Amino acid sequence: MFPFVTMFRRTSLHLLTLVLILAASALPAAAKPARVKLATLAPKGTSFHLILQEMAQGWKTGPDGGVAVTMFTDGTMGGESDMVRRMRLGQLHAGLITTAGLGDIEGGVSGLQNIPMAYRSLDEVEHVLAVMAPKYEQKMYEKGFVVLGWFDSGWINFFSKKPLIEPADLRGEKVFVIANSPGTVEVVRELSMQPVVLEPTDILVSLQTGLITVVTAPPFYGLAGQFYQPAPHFLPLNWAPLVGGLVITRKVWDDLSPAQQELLKRTGTEACQKIRTAARAEMLESITAMESRGLIVHKIDTALEKKWIEFFDTVQPKTRGTVVPADDYDAIMGTLATHRANHPAPAAP
């Protein structure tokens, strides 16, 4: 009997060991955090940066191990075209970028910003974005990117070394044009201006040296970049909205769990909404701050605004098929026309 008992005990021990191994293998392994490198041109310490930091903290403590974010600010990863290129190469995984970068992914997006004086109000900007966003999100998804959120940060205005009051004052001026935008270069030339192609990080030194004499920028960026010092004249003309989005590569997105994807989409949208609110408030605050430091703000009355609108009405068609793909130009301008017909501006008192 003894050999039988011994064999039974050994067999039982082996079975118990096998059961424990199988049970252990059935337990989920501790999830490792996903890692995302995110870049933006936004200066460190600005509301853009702080809002992104808050979002990143939520990603870090999220489900399935969370998503750890390494953030690069101040254009340390190059201009927005460089950021998109790095994302395609896997050197970066996400970016908060404007239409300058988004247009490198899907050219039609440029129409959200680059049709001069197409928009009369920020309400119109939001309406067009709501209508066009699903189309652009699908196209960018097909090209390897997922849009987590959209934002605008108020209006782009004119900073110049000498006063720019009327459209005729633009003639001969050397104006900043962002890199990789050949259509814009041609339109600027047709306006009898001299386009100077640069990265945004080169604007300040180019103003200081006289390489450029005019830059279009939102006030908060003019303040952060100190453009108002070498270009102390400011025309508060609502030339175009600054529109952008938070994007992540599909390669990283597809490796995330459904719970992580839901978190990134929700918090990315929330972050962009916060950026919109903060930037619009800072637009006015920045003008006041620069005025206290010597910025000369040239007022625009109704008659002068009408003159600029009429001038850019003749310019807008020049962007069709050059700066903005023709189909997208037509869709955006058609959407604006319909919206205005349904929401007529109140009559002047």
In the chain, where the domains are located = 32-338
180: phi > 0 → left, psi -120 to 50 → alpha, else beta; which? left
For residue 277, the model assigns a pLDDT of: 95
- Which pTM value belongs to this model? 0.84
For residue 31, the model assigns a pLDDT of: 59
CA distances for 84 relative to 18, 106, 131, 275, angstroms: 51, 11, 25, 21
261: phi > 0 → left, psi -120 to 50 → alpha, else beta; which? alpha
Q: Which residues contact 206 (CB under 8 A, 6 or more apart)?
A: 176, 196, 198, 212
Tokens of 10: 């050994």
CA distances for 21 relative to 16, 25, 30, 247, angstroms: 9, 6, 17, 43
Superfamily of domain 32-338: Bacterial extracellular solute-binding protein, family 7 (3.40.190.170)
110, 99 contact by CB (below 8 A): yes
Nearest to 243 by CA among 345, 341, 128: 128
Q: C-alpha angle with apex 257: 254 to 259, nearest 5 degrees? A: 130
Q: pLDDT of the chain along its 349 residues, tens only?
A: 444 444 434 444 444 444 334 443 443 444 578 999 999 998 898 899 999 999 999 999 999 999 999 999 998 999 899 999 999 999 999 999 999 899 999 999 999 998 999 999 999 999 999 999 999 999 999 999 999 999 999 999 999 999 999 999 999 999 999 877 777 888 888 778 999 999 888 999 999 999 999 999 999 889 989 999 999 999 999 999 999 999 999 999 999 999 999 999 999 999 999 999 999 999 999 999 999 999 999 999 999 999 999 999 999 999 999 889 999 999 999 999 999 999 887 554 4
